């Protein structure tokens, strides 16, 4: 059966570098894997008062149902002020509740951070991993994926340059067996 991998992009920007990297990773998945880009920009901020009968925002329900239908996750995110952008953290929180009904539980994940800066989103990468430990998302440890200087890694054709694409392929090639080994 085809494996459905959800892509969560931490930037909501139309011309996001992270979206570009996510699309490139999706294009490198092998046969038998399908990428689904999950919208996170329309999720109201998590508020327990809303998570009650008759009050749950439609976008939360849509998001939770979509994530339930996934087999694994790829998170591609920028770093905002040395941490995870609020939109992505909010998506993790929305999916984690109601208590005991987390849609993340036990499915494997991959973390990729992307920045024009040299530190390549290291802070966001590890803050995200901290939440994923608690959410019980087994996450690929090696190779780590920090893409720095992304603005220099886009060719004149608007695509990610071959070297970086090759690196992303090594990440996918490591993630696929990790995913298989950690899938329920």
Ligand X SMILES: Cc1cc2nc3c(=O)[nH]c(=O)nc-3n(C[C@H](O)[C@H](O)[C@H](O)COP(=O)(O)O)c2cc1C
Binding site for ligand X (CB under 6 A): 11, 13, 16-18, 78-82, 115-117, 119, 121
Q: Which is nearer to ligand X, 50 or 161 (CB)?
A: 161
Minimum distance from residue 14 beta carbon to ligand X (Å): 9
Q: Which is nearer to ligand X, 17 or 178 (CB)?
A: 17
Q: Which is nearer to ligand X, 37 or 80 (CB)?
A: 80
Query: What is d(CA 100, CA 96) in angstroms, rounded to the nearest whole number?
Result: 8
Minimum distance from residue 146 beta carbon to ligand X (Å): 10
Distance of CA 26 to the CA centre of its chain: 11
Among candidates 152, 158, 77, 155, which has minimal Cα distance to 114? 77
Minimum distance from residue 24 beta carbon to ligand X (Å): 13
CB 10 within 8 A of CB 65: no
Burial class (CB in 10 A: 0-12, 13-18, 19+), 40: buried
Cβ-based neighbour number of residue 64 at 10 Å: 19
Minimum distance from residue 58 beta carbon to ligand X (Å): 26
Q: Which is nearer to ligand X, 10 or 109 (CB)?
A: 10
């Amino acid at each position: 059966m085809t494996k459905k991998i959800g892509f969560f992009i931490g930037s909501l920007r139309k011309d996001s570098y992270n979206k570009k990297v996510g699309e490139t990773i999706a294009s490198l998945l092998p046969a038998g894997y399908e990428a689904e880009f999950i919208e996170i920009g329309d999720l109201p901020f998590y508020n327990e008062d809303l998570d009650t009968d008759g009050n749950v925002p439609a976008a939360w329900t849509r998001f939770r149902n979509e994530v339930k239908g996934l087999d694994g996750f790829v998170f591609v995110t920028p770093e905002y002020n040395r941490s995870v952008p609020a939109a992505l953290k909010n998506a993790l929180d929305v999916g984690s509740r109601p208590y005991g009904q987390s849609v993340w539980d036990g499915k494997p994940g991959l973390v990729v951070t992307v920045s024009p800066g040299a530190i390549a989103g290291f802070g966001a990468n590890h803050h995200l991993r901290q939440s994923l430990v608690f959410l019980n998302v087994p996450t690929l440890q090696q190779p780590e994926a920090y893409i720095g200087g992304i603005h220099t890694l886009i060719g004149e054709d608007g695509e990610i340059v071959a070297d970086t694409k090759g690196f992303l392929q090594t990440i996918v090639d490591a993630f696929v067996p990790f995913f298989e080994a950690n899938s329920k």
